[in-house]
């Protein structure tokens, strides 16, 4: 054990540092294209089920977007709260509003994927920009900023969607988990290994949807209308990243609601490409191992390790303060603590810089604490989803 545990610990830190220094720093250095003459017509698609109050708030905001040619297409998924009447009557005089009504759900489709498929079919424009009814763009140039990243043969643009900041540890953890998810999918995309996007802020070409068979292969799964589609359709060169055009969503407010949501989201990871499962597996497992093996490695005290003489605190010095029993700290313990603190500092600095690029969605000074909590969350949800059949996941 005095050999195996240190090898696992140091190996996990090396893997983590590789991702931090060679993948995540790409996002910390990334700057969006700010000007473009390419302004194609865009269809904003919102699949909504009983979201009347959210739509009343969202649609006027979208209608004020500074963009020359766009439509707002709402797919009303069998709502019973008056959504369809509101869309028909359009009391707020939404100039760019278009809509469709889903009345029946086929057996071979889940609700949202069927609604989105019908909306894609009805959309009149070549570019599709997706968001949810409970999301709000943070800028009137949201469409333009997303479109500005469409050059150089790109067919997909990945955006960032934060959650509202509310009091409490649950909200802080939700925001950190959302930050970590964005850190991963945006950084990997910049490293030409795109693997997912989030439907709260995602854009792609309409022809790409049909070219990849829409949601075929996962149309019966509750989740995956965003990440599984991107995982299938993305290539090294057809994905752009936009960090400036952000949306903000309403977070869950109870641990149970959040647990159900994350269980649903993580369950579809089994459907990712092998390369992406390996990448995420290495990233997540190494992060977990760093935290869980720190204490066992600290107290291994292997006999085969000897620190250089110059690095030791003289035993006589320790003895005169009654600390002779801490002599072991001169060698192994000091090495482990030093390596761990070096790793934490590097990760802290890089993630703080990414946090700045994403508009300070989390508190940078709390990153080490929430990184520990995030890895504990990965253990729990990882075990749960490992033995969960995504076909049997329920929405609530």
Question: How far apart are the C-alpha atoms of 284 and 204, rounded to whole Å?
Answer: 28
266-293: string of b/e by CB count within 10 Å (b at 16+)?
A: bbbbebbeeebeebbeebbbbbbbbbbb
pLDDT of residue 49: 94
- Across-strand partners of 156? 204, 239
> What mean pLDDT do residues 311-316 have?
76
Percent of the chain's residues with pLDDT above 90: 72
pTM: 0.91
* 3-state SS assignment for residue 205: strand
State the average pLDDT for the chain.
Answer: 91
Q: Which tokens hold the place of 290?
A: 């760093």
pLDDT of residue 387: 53
Q: Which tokens hold the place of 224?
A: 């995956």
Cβ atoms of 159 and 230 closer than 8 Å: no
> What mean pLDDT do residues 340-365 have?
96
* Domain spans in the chain, listed from the N-terminal domain onward: 4-24+278-392, 33-253
Render pLDDT for 112-124 as a digit per residue (tens, 0 to 9): 999 999 999 999 9
Compute φ and ψ for 290, nearest 5 degrees.
-60, -45
Q: In this predicted model, which residue has the larger pLDDT, 302 or 313?
A: 302
Render pLDDT for 209-225 as a digit per residue (tens, 0 to 9): 999 999 998 888 877 88
Question: How far apart are the C-alpha atoms of 27 and 244, rounded to whole Å?
Answer: 12
Name the nearest CA neighbour of 131 among 250, 220, 228: 250
pLDDT band at 395 (very low <50, low <70, confident <90, very high): very low
- DSSP output for 309-345: GGGSPPHHHHHTTT-GGGGGGGTHHHHHHHHHHHHHH
Question: How far apart are the C-alpha atoms of 31 and 255, rounded to whole Å?
Answer: 35
pLDDT band at 396 (very low <50, low <70, confident <90, very high): very low
Render pLDDT for 52-106 as a digit per residue (tens, 0 to 9): 999 999 999 999 999 999 999 999 999 999 999 999 999 999 999 999 999 988 8
For Cα atoms 52, 53, 56, give the angle at the middle one, nearest 5 degrees. Answer: 85
Contacts of 156 (CB under 8 A, 6+ apart): 194, 197, 202, 203, 204, 205, 208, 230, 233, 234, 238, 239, 240
β 202-205/127-130 pair status: antiparallel
Q: What is the 3-state secondary structure (H, E, C) of 21-76?
A: HHHHHHHHHCCCCCCCCCCCCEEEEEEECCCHHHHHHHHHHHHCCCCCCEEEEEEE
Q: What is the DSSP letter of 365?
A: G
pLDDT of residue 331: 81
Q: In this predicted model, which residue has the larger pLDDT, 334 or 246?
A: 246
> What mean pLDDT do residues 125-139 have?
96
Checking 357-361 for CB contacts under 8 A at 24+ apart, the result is 357/27, 357/28, 357/30, 357/243, 358/160, 358/162, 358/179, 358/182, 358/243, 358/246, 359/162, 359/246, 361/162, 361/175, 361/178, 361/179
Q: Which tokens hold the place of 239?
A: 């994905």
* 3-state SS assignment for residue 267: helix
> What mean pLDDT do residues 134-157 have?
94
Distance of CA 210 to the CA centre of its chain: 25
E strand or H helix at 85: helix 83-89
As its CATH architecture, domain 33-253 has Alpha-Beta Complex (3.90)
pLDDT of residue 385: 64
Question: How far apart are the C-alpha atoms of 142 and 119, rounded to whole Å?
Answer: 21
Question: How far apart are the C-alpha atoms of 16 and 285, rounded to whole Å?
Answer: 10
């Amino acid at each position: 054990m005095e050999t195996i545990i240190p090898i696992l610990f140091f190996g996990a830190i090396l893997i983590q540092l590789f991702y931090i220094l060679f993948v995540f720093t790409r996002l910390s250095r990334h700057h969006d294209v700010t000007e473009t003459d390419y302004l194609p017509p865009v269809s904003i698609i919102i699949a909504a089920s009983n979201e009347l109050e959210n739509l009343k708030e969202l649609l006027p905001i979208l209608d004020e977007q500074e963009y020359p040619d766009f439509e707002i297409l709402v797919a009303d998924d069998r709502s019973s709260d008056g959504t369809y009447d509101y869309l028909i009557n359009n009391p707020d005089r939404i100039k760019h509003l278009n809509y469709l009504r889903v009345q029946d759900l086929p057996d071979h489709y889940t609700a949202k994927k069927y609604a989105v498929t019908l909306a894609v079919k009805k959309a009149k424009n070549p570019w599709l920009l997706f968001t949810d009814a409970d999301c709000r763009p943070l800028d009137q140039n949201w469409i333009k900023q997303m479109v500005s990243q469409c050059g150089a043969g790109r067919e997909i643009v990945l955006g960032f969607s934060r959650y509202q900041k509310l009091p409490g540890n649950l909200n802080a953890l939700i925001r950190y988990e959302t930050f970590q998810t964005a850190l991963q999918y945006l950084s990997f995309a910049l490293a030409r290994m795109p693997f997912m996007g989030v439907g709260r802020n995602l854009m792609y070409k309409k022809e790409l949807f049909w070219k990849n068979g829409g949601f075929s292969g996962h149309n019966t799964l509750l989740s995956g209308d965003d990440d599984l589609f991107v995982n299938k359709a993305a290539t090294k060169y057809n994905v752009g990243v936009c960090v400036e055009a952000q949306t903000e969503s309403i977070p869950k407010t109870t641990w149970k609601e959040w647990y159900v949501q994350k269980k649903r989201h993580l369950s579809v990871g089994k459907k990712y490409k092998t390369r992406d499962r390996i990448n995420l597996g290495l990233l997540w497992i190494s992060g977990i191992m760093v935290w869980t093996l720190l204490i066992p490695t600290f107290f291994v005290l292997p006999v085969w390790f000897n620190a250089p003489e110059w690095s030791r605190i003289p035993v006589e010095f320790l003895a005169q303060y009654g600390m002779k029993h801490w002599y072991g700290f001169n060698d192994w313990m000091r090495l482990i603590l030093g390596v761990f603190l070096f790793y934490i500092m590097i990760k802290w600095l890089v993630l703080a810089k990414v946090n700045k690029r994403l508009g300070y969605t989390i508190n940078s000074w709390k990153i080490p604490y929430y990184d520990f909590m995030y890895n504990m969350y990965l253990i729990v949800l990882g075990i749960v989803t490992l033995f969960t059949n995504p076909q049997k996941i329920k929405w609530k």
